[in-house]
Structure 1
Amino acid sequence: MATTLKNLSEHSSKNIQDISSKKFAIIVSEWNEEVTEALYSGAYQTLLQHGASKENIIRKDVPGSFELSLGAQWCAQDGSIDAVICLGCVIQGETRHFDFICDAVAHGITNVGLKYNKPVIFGVLTPNTQKQAMDRAGGKHGNKGDEAAITAIKMLGFNN
């Protein structure tokens, strides 16, 4: 498992650029709120620590992870938004619903980034249990929200 080899909150400083003038949208799924609020906190704090201003971080909530793609599209089409960070958590259940949702969300978020030619970051946990989710939302494996924010920052620096 990747997180046993690397803490999600650790990153290299390569391709970290000045983001003081960059505007970020963070789309947060309300489903699995305990997890997604922790992911949001990690992403928000990481952006601030790297120089983003509070007024340039916009938060939008959607009902569940499935709605992240459309929420991301609505934010990405706003020309003033430089990067979109999608945060959610889909925990494995007893049915195949998990597979369909995870697949749709991954493809949807990818397609939004390609359509708008800007970073649209997949910060969605897909664990087997609530404990695994919490371990990756600020627990022993770090915070996927931190990783998502760093990914957005690094992608903004990709062409510089």
Structure 2
Amino acid sequence: MNAYFTNGTTEFLRQLKHKEQAKIWVFEGEGALAYTEDPHAAKFATPRTYEHVTGTGDIPDDGYIAINNIPVTDEGRPIFEDVFKQRAGKIDQTPGFHALRVLRPQSGNTYLVLTAWEDKQRFEDWKKSEAFQHAHKKDDKQPKRPPFSAGPAYVTTYHIDNEE
């Protein structure tokens, strides 16, 4: 399965969403994004296409989105994907969690780890949780950056636009 993104103004992306017959979400925050998992709705003029590596849950029509942008080396792709496949399902019981998508880029080297939450506070609570600390812990033997890293990761955050 694939996922598709495009950028634009919130108003333009809302119009695109209403024109299509498939499910499209509009994310507002650090810019505006349209996101869909439906290939029939992926008629974006300049889509960025990603392949699903793993995922769980359903993206809601309202809530908070956090996207971890992680540059990965070509050799590190299998390692990176295995790490997330092994973690699959561990976040599911977190209060306020709705969905996870680990997305492999069809071009470029930056994977996206998209999580959907009830609201920003639930995301922040998870980041402070013992489960988060355990999943992201490093011991003294590990290098500063993971072996798959092609550069620093960064997070972009959005609210799901639910205006009609």
The answer, yes or no, to whether TM exceeds 0.5 is no
Q: Which structure dedicates a bigger proportion of its chain to strand?
A: 2
In terms of Rg, which structure is larger? 2
Greater relative contact order (Cα < 8 A, sep 6+): 1
TM-score by length of 2: 0.26
Whose helix fraction is larger, Structure 1's or Structure 2's?
Answer: 1
